[in-house]
Amino acid sequence: FWLKHQRARVLMGGSPTWKSRCSLVVRAALLPLLLLLALALAPACFKSIPTALASCTMAAPDAKRARTDEGAQCSNEAAKATSKAGLQAYFDAVSAAGLSNEDKLAKIVSTFAEETELIKPDGEVMKGSDGVKAFYGSAASPVMKMPNFKPKPLLETMSYSEDGRTIAVEIDLPLAAGGYTRVGDFFSFDSEGRITRLRIYQWPMNLPKN
């Protein structure tokens, strides 16, 4: 527009003023500089776009991973609570008093899953409800011999697996002849708190009578 205006003045017999001439020179000099500056800044601007997109792309999996970790932690805590309840039910059953041997044995069996696996200290594997009955109802088991049989779990050394499904616990078992023997048991539980696997470790140790 300005150039048209100056051309019109010349055609009409006028001539550009001194100030107009100076302004024209300045603008003509600045135009290439502005173009060079724009060309210099353009790569940096375009380069920042992929960086920003990459940051957003990386942030999304991190947020998803954080939500997944929180969900897993809540699930593990729930499993741990269920396992603790199952362990307490087991100790209540083996310590039950005032029941017939048949009723007490049935109460113990009810704390195990149908497809359970019980591994004795010598490594023998006993499976299912029949295996549980055979182990706790045997003549060598103090569970049925002693009317006041009450095992004592050592709570201070009890530990849990990361998924909350398995509990390792040391237990002082009372003996019919007096005193205690210590065993280390690993209990694994299903989602309903029933024992799916019990591994018993025992070593020769008779503790004095309390």
- Using 50, 70 and 90 to split pLDDT, how confident is the model at 187? very high
**pLDDT tens per residue across span 49-94:** 566 556 656 666 666 666 666 666 788 999 999 999 999 999 999 9
Structural contact between residues 94 and 108, judged by C-beta atoms closer than 8 angstroms: yes
The amino acid at 104: K
Tell me the C-alpha to C-alpha distance, in Å, between residue 41 and each of 37, 50, 142, 167, 170. 6, 16, 86, 63, 71
pTM of the model: 0.65
Q: 186 pairs with which residues across the strands?
A: 168, 199
Count CB neighbours of 133 within 10 A.
Answer: 16
Bigger pLDDT: 203 or 163?
Answer: 163
DSSP code at position 156: G
pLDDT value, residue 165? 97
Q: Evaluate if residue 144 carries a pLDDT over 70.
A: yes
- String of DSSP letters for 111-163: TEEEEEEEE-TTS-EEEHHHHHHHHHTSTT-HHHH-TT---EE-GGG-EE-TT
